[in-house]
């Protein structure tokens, strides 16, 4: 991030620069000098999960370093996408396992994380869709099911898929799994403690959609 120095603070900037040189020199002689951090890293972890799962207008990304999305913020204008995203969010539960390990500007927090695994429901969803298509094709007016080329109408497929998804999501615990993960955090001067989201955490939080 670029910082513009106002002319009114030019003198103060010079003093700060000289002080920084002193710290670097002092650090070379005695070891690294670390600025004091504010807040606790475990508080950032807790705030992140609350913003993600409990707050209707929360912004969990303010607690993530260099990450602006979890794969659940794309085009969710269709009802099926909204249902799936909501199921993933509602399934997330985390429990800290032991104290947070903090060292200077870095910290680690091991957690137990429960989440909705969308991959586990794929076979059940596919089977449900096939059964509903078969039943509907047998019992409904063919004009509601097929187009002029005798292919399934797009509106029919969307209707069946949504109905099947709603049925499968009635038992979300069948597709929920729990993993033990270690969350890494880094303290940043302008943002406080930030979570360094690795692939394992992102995959769990987006329900392994990606």
Position 129 in a domain: yes
Judgement on whether residues 84 and 23 belong to the same structural domain of the protein: no
Task: Flag whether 13 is in a domain.
Answer: yes
pLDDT value, residue 5: 27
- Same domain for 119 and 156? yes
Residue 31 has pLDDT above 60, yes or no: no
Residue 70 covered by a domain: yes
- Distance between CA atoms of residues 126 and 8, nearest Å: 66
- Other Cβ atoms less than 10 A from the Cβ of 7: the count is 7
Q: Is the pTM of this model over 0.85?
A: no
84 and 139 in a single domain? The answer is yes
Are residues 15 and 85 located together in one domain of the fold?
A: no
**Pair (6, 75) in one structural domain:** no
**210 occurs within a structural domain:** no
Q: How many domains does the chain have?
A: 2
Report residue 56's pLDDT band, with 50, 70 and 90 as the boundaries.
low
Residue 4 tokens, joined: 């513009």
Provide the percentage of residues in the chain whose pLDDT is more than 90: 59
User: In which band, very low, low, confident or very high, does the pLDDT at 37 lie, cut at 50, 70 and 90?
Assistant: confident
184: in domain: yes
Per-residue pLDDT tens for 90-149?
999 999 999 999 998 999 999 999 999 999 999 999 999 999 999 998 999 999 999 999
Same-domain status, 45 and 105: yes
Provide the token pair at 62: 């303010």
User: What does the pLDDT read at residue 139?
Assistant: 92
Q: What is the pLDDT of residues 3-30, one digit of tens each?
A: 322 332 232 333 233 333 233 333 333 3
- Say whether both 79 and 10 belong to one domain: no
Tokens of 72: 């659940």
Do both 160 and 174 map to the same domain? yes
Q: Do both 63 and 165 map to the same domain?
A: yes
Reduce the secondary structure of the chain to three states and give it as a string: CCCCCCHHHHHHHHHHHHHHHHHHHHHHHHCCCCCCCCCCHHHHHHHHHHHHHCCCCCCHHHHECCCCCCCCCCCCCCHHHHHHHHHHHHHCEEEECCCCEEECCEEEEEEEEEEECHHHHHHHHHHHHHHHHHHHHHHCCHHHHECCCCCECHHHHHHHHHHHHHHHCCCHHHHEEEEEEEEEEEEECCCEEEEECCHHHHHHHCCCCC
Whether residue 161 is found in the same domain as residue 201: yes
Looking at the structure, tell me whether residues 67 and 22 fall in a common domain. Answer: no
Is residue 80 very low, low, confident or very high in pLDDT (cuts 50, 70, 90)?
Answer: confident
Cα separations in angstroms, 85 against 71, 140, 152, 172 = 9, 31, 27, 12
Domain around 165:
37-205
Phi, psi of 141 (to 5 degrees): -60, 125
Q: Give me 18's structure tokens.
A: 């000289």
- Confidence at residue 105, expressed as pLDDT on a 0 to 100 scale: 93
Pair 65, 23 in one domain: no
Classify residue 176: in a domain, yes or no.
yes
Report yes or no on 87 lying in a domain: yes
83 falls within a domain: yes
Q: Which of 55-69, 84-98, 152-166 has the lowest mean pLDDT?
A: 55-69
């Amino acid at each position: 991030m670029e910082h513009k120095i106002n002319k009114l603070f030019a003198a103060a900037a010079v003093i700060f620069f000289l002080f920084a040189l002193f710290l670097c020199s002092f650090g070379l002689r005695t070891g690294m000098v670390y600025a004091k951090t504010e807040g606790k890293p475990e508080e950032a972890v807790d705030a992140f999960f609350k913003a993600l799962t409990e707050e209707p207008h929360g912004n969990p990304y303010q607690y993530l370093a260099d990450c602006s999305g979890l794969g659940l913020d794309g085009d969710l204008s269709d009802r099926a996408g909204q249902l799936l995203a909501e199921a993933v969010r509602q399934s997330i539960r985390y429990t800290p396992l032991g104290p947070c390990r903090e060292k200077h500007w870095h910290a680690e927090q091991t957690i137990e994380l429960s989440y909705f695994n969308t991959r586990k429901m794929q076979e059940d969803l596919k089977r449900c869709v096939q059964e509903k298509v078969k039943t509907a094709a047998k019992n409904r007016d063919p004009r509601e099911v097929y187009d002029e080329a005798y292919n399934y109408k797009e509106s029919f497929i969307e209707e069946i898929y949504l109905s099947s998804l709603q049925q499968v999501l009635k038992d979300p615990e069948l597709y929920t799994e729990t993993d033990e993960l270690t969350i890494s955090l880094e303290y940043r001067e302008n943002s406080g403690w930030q979570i360094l989201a690795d692939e394992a955490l992102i995959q769990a939080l987006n329900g392994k959609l990606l």
